[in-house]
Amino acid sequence: MGLDVQALREEFPILQRQIDGHPLVYLDNAATTQKPQCVIDAITHYYSHYNANVHRGAHRLADEATKAFEAARDTIAGFINAAQREEVIWTTGTTEAINLVSHGLAHILEPGDEIIATQLEHHANLVTWQQACKASGASFKLAPITETGELDLAAFEALLNSNTKFVAFPHASNALGTLNPIKALTAKAKAVGAWVLVDGAQGIAHERVDVQDIGCDFYAFSAHKIYGPMGMGVLWGREELLRDWPVWQTGGEMISTVTYTSAEWNVLPYRLEAGTPNVGGAIAFGRAVQWYQQLNVAEVHAHEQALLASCTEQLSTLEGLTIHGTAPNKVAVVSFTMNEGHPADIGFLLDRQAIAIRTGHHCAEPLMAHLGVPGTARASFAAYNTLSEVDALAQALGKVKMMLA
Ligand SMILES: *Cc1c(COP(=O)(O)O)cnc(C)c1O
């Protein structure tokens, strides 16, 4: 039967928009996905019916808000197959989740320790570790990639040794689309006793995530890349690590008892969630995940892979166009440059034709330097994109070529 993409599209009010009289073609999903009506409604309903602070009020609204907020945590825990709900820590996004981990790690790192990340990294999973190493005297190593934009597995393995304290890599690259063999990478890193963090910002919306099966210690992701609201994310971590992880922000909620001169910390997950959380955001995140789960995820996956294949095939026929990232296993991201013009010009001219893509370094400046390009133009797909939108992109790029020639 396949995915009913038209029915799906009707759930997204923004996809009905016109740009200069043309239907919007939204191909910037790796930057953020659009939101279905039910997610928008979840936010509105929260603020119009039961807005209250959680875990503290002695009234009906506070009780309802707390229940919905904690139910959202259960939804996320189930979605990623966390062993315990307390392992799901709310954050403002992937970036904050990674910073939470690195803040704690900074208390533990010593000169002589080594951290490994990869050349594929988004700045969030690069600068954070680079700076943690600078501050502690630990050394920072980068696993290289091959011509196709895949991790060089032998080189990755060669970097691992008994000094390796921490290993971080992306589930999928936002800039090239490369899907990493995260289970195998994790197993190799765990074999030398390192802690492993997977940056799941791109993986979560495209791949089935089972944190216990992956075997990693931390998995970080953002709501807004999986049909949820902005400003919400999750750090999942193994309970025995998070239980003792150095607290990173102090204030309300994260304490158990306080005197003027001392404080004791709350239990998980609250010890790592200081202050009033984004309650409506968490509830809407839970709703987004429920919405996603009621789709046939295998069908969504097949559909996105068909979009990727069609886009790759059509763009490859355009002379002077280079696709960056040609790994056999990719999420639906196509990054490219054209001989005729700068990525920014491509983006501008596509926008004139109502096609939204992203151009620039995609928060992966060192990777762009490594590829020898100033940046790329990137089309990235979600469940609601159609094969005719891919055709529209290919046709529009044909025009762009002529305009720039
Ligand atoms: C988007 C993204 C991030 C950062 O996510 P935020 O939502 O901006 O915190 C990190 N890593 C990858 C691979 C991303 O795509």
Q: What is the average pLDDT score of the chain?
A: 97
Mean pLDDT, rounded, for 70-90: 98
Q: Which atom of ligand 1 is nearest to the CA of 222?
A: 7
| Per-residue pLDDT, 391 | 98
| Per-residue pLDDT, 1 | 63
**If DSSP codes are grouped into helix, strand and coil, which group holds residue 207?**
coil
The DSSP bridge partners found for residue 198 are 169, 219
Point out the catalytic residue in the list 38, 216, 311, 363: 363
Per-residue pLDDT for 201 more than 70? Answer: yes
Confidence category of residue 405, pLDDT binned at 50, 70, 90:
confident
Pocket test for ligand 1, best of 123, 128, 363, 365 (most atoms within 8 A of CB): 363
Cβ–Cβ under 8 Å, residues 223 and 191: no
Mean pLDDT, rounded, for 253-265: 95
Q: Which atom of ligand 1 is nearest to the CA of 121?
A: 13
Mean pLDDT, rounded, for 59-85: 98
On the 0-12 / 13-18 / 19+ scale of CB atoms within 10 A, 353 is middle
Paired sense of beta strands 88-91 and 233-237, if any: antiparallel
Confidence category of residue 329, pLDDT binned at 50, 70, 90:
very high
Pocket test for ligand 1, best of 174, 209, 330, 380 (most atoms within 8 A of CB): 174
Domain architecture of the chain: domains with CATH:
5-30+297-404 (3.90.1150.10), 41-293 (3.40.640.10)
Q: 368: which 2 tokens?
A: 């762009």
Helices (H), 192-249: 211-214, 239-242
CA angle 81, 380, 344 (to 5 degrees): 140
Report d(CA 288, CA 223) in Å as an integer.
Answer: 8
| Per-residue pLDDT, 2 | 84
Neighbour-count burial for 158-171, b at 16+ CB within 10 Å, e otherwise = ebbeebbbbbbbbb
Cβ–Cβ under 8 Å, residues 115 and 140: yes
CA of 74 to the centre of ligand 1 (A): 23
Report d(CA 355, CA 348) in Å as an integer.
Answer: 9
Q: 145: which 2 tokens?
A: 């990639």
CA of 364 to the centre of ligand 1 (A): 10
Taking CA atoms, 309 is separated from 314, 328, 391, in Å, by 9, 11, 12
Helices (H), 220-296: 239-242, 279-293
Q: Which atom of ligand 1 is nearest to the CA of 31?
A: 1
Per-residue pLDDT for 57 more than 90? Answer: no
Ligand 1: lining residues by beta carbon, under 6 Å: 93-95, 122, 124-125, 170, 174, 199, 201-202, 222
CA-nearest residue for atom 8, ligand 1, is 95
Per-residue pLDDT for 97 more than 90? Answer: yes
Query: What is the greatest pairwise CA distance in the chain?
Result: 71
Active site residue 363: yes
Per-residue pLDDT for 85 more than 90? Answer: yes
Q: Which residues contact 57 (CB under 8 A, 6 or more apart)?
A: 63, 65
CA angle 359, 362, 366 (to 5 degrees): 120
Mean pLDDT, rounded, for 207-218: 98
Report d(CA 197, CA 211) in Å as an integer.
Answer: 11
Here the contacts of 269-274 (C-beta below 8 Å, separation 24 or greater) are 269/73, 269/85, 269/86, 269/87, 269/88, 269/89, 269/90, 269/242, 270/55, 271/247, 272/89, 272/100, 272/235, 272/242, 272/245, 272/247, 272/248, 273/89, 273/90, 274/247, 274/249, 274/250
